[in-house]
Chain A
């Protein structure tokens, strides 16, 4: 590896990875393949194991079980400095005692690559910071530090670039700008990017493949549109955007669809959009797919109708208006309506019906849960905190 740049990204393969910390399991039997040259996002709430996954790939943690392969080569037992992997840390982790230029040249010098400084300047030009090469990191703004951290990683042309919520500390505008920049750089240099984030919007706009992670395993993986349009678990349905979910028994099924008895009525879902076809199933529909009706509609094929219900809340958010509708037997249903007309379509207290096209519904592979399974924070530092608590408990015992 030393001395040579990788021409293109490499595949990353995680085989049966398990990581246990004293007292808790961060990752359970994780299998994942990230093809070379892709921009892959690991999306999940705090505590889902995504940062641990990243640290395992970087070599900063050792898996309890399983293998890690980069470009087909097993690196499980290689220390971090011998892996063709570079990381953009959440806190940037720039070396405070070195200039920006020395920071960027650090990896190249360690690998004995010629003209480290020249290449470092080049990388700084790529992130448009070459004019600040002589400064110390403490003299840069947050956005500039972020770009230096990025330059310091990509200048090494790693087979795999790891991004640990690098945009987390930036304000919204800077964040958008950096997202665009990252995407451009990825297109230019053609590396494999593994991006860890809890921001679904960030994951969906940047990545070509998103894996939604929860409680140490991957719930669902695919292109962003696919995940959004056809979530397969209640976690994905709720973590990625919002969903209205209904649980009930399958009362009939045909070659094209299944019919579920739920919410005091029967609801139809296309067979190929449902994970389960018999027994108790949870089906759902996205709030923007729903139509509000002020009169009870005539029954029509290919449409599900719920109601009557009472509008309990109307909140205007510019592009759309969110309505909360209390339907007896179905709970609270969220409806997003485009603001096609001036002012709300219906007011609080109105009696309404809700309908959607059967083709927009989806059937989940698991049962609806009362609430999201959020557990405490999972950035690098909280892992340390958790681990310390666990160790302390262990020592005290």
Chain B
């Protein structure tokens, strides 16, 4: 469900299922490919995360195969705060994205239903950011919120911000960037759910003495829950691992580093591959735990 809820109502036809060698030949290339390029790298990460520096022939970026659990202890003590910050930023961005996207999705899926042309246009506007380079979009915000940019000047003229105020490099800006970048991921699945909502149910709700507010919370919201679940996952997972928004080159600063920044820094700058790998494994596990709990709670089993 989660990722497939964008599906649309394709009418599935009952299919004869055969058990055959042909299935093997169809599956084999793709599965082998994924095993080699997805599963094997995960194993590689585990192996790398347990490597130890070569103390005899010491060289930066040179490590020996070992079983060095110290790497995990090291990254936890060293970067524990950053890991926590990543989840904090990501959770906040997810909540903001949900609060912002729900009314928008409702507007497109329900209010605009009577006007197909406007509905199509609004949908195109929601997906439009997908087609503009992610990096350029984020750089555009950086320019707009720059110290000598229009927003700061405006806010300073209203005396909301002091003369030496910054926006870029602050946690607010990073969360803003994450929220902005992931709003469409939240809005589209919710839209898909609301679009399928039978408006007669709302009429039935008011017929059964529910006022508009309780109809909304007792009928509309529960029926759009699959979309909310999908949207939440689609925002939370990538936002936690994101390192563009939080990077000093974009909307963040060294004080806003997220786990993705650390993974990339330890990998590219320190060539500390074991730490980078250990952080990746930790990130993956820490994401899979809440995601599984969330899926179990919302009883959404069909992931695809």
Contacts and interface: CB of A to CB of B under 8 A. Distances in A.
Asked if chains A and B come from one complex, the reply is: yes
Interface of A: 381, 383-385, 387-388, 391
Interface of B: prevailing SS? loop
Contacts of A387: 16-17
A292 B249 CA distance: 101
A388 B15 CA distance: 9
B14 A391 contact: no
Contacts of B14: 381, 384-385
B24 to A, nearest CB: 15
A385 B15 CA distance: 8
Interface string B2-33: 00000000000011110100000000000000
A381 B15 CA distance: 7
A381 to B, nearest CB: 4
A384 B15 CA distance: 7
Nearest to B17: A388
Contacts, number: 13
A384 B19 contact: no
Interface of B: 14-17, 19
A391 B19 contact: yes
B12 to A, nearest CB: 12
A381 B17 CA distance: 11
Contacts of A385: 14
13 contacts: A381-B14, A383-B16, A384-B14, A384-B15, A384-B16, A384-B17, A385-B14, A387-B16, A387-B17, A388-B16, A388-B17, A391-B17, A391-B19
Nearest to A379: B14
Contacts of A384: 14-17
Nearest to A22: B19
B296 to A, nearest CB: 23
A320 B231 CA distance: 65
A93 to B, nearest CB: 11
Given A385-B14, A388-B16, A391-B17, 8 more contacts: A384-B14, A384-B15, A384-B16, A384-B17, A387-B16, A387-B17, A388-B17, A391-B19
Nearest first, the 4 closest Cβ-Cβ pairs linking A and B are A384-B16, A381-B14, A388-B17, A384-B14
Contacts of B17: 384, 387-388, 391
Contacts of B15: 384
A89 B88 CA distance: 59
Nearest to A395: B19
Nearest to A383: B16
A379 to B, nearest CB: 10
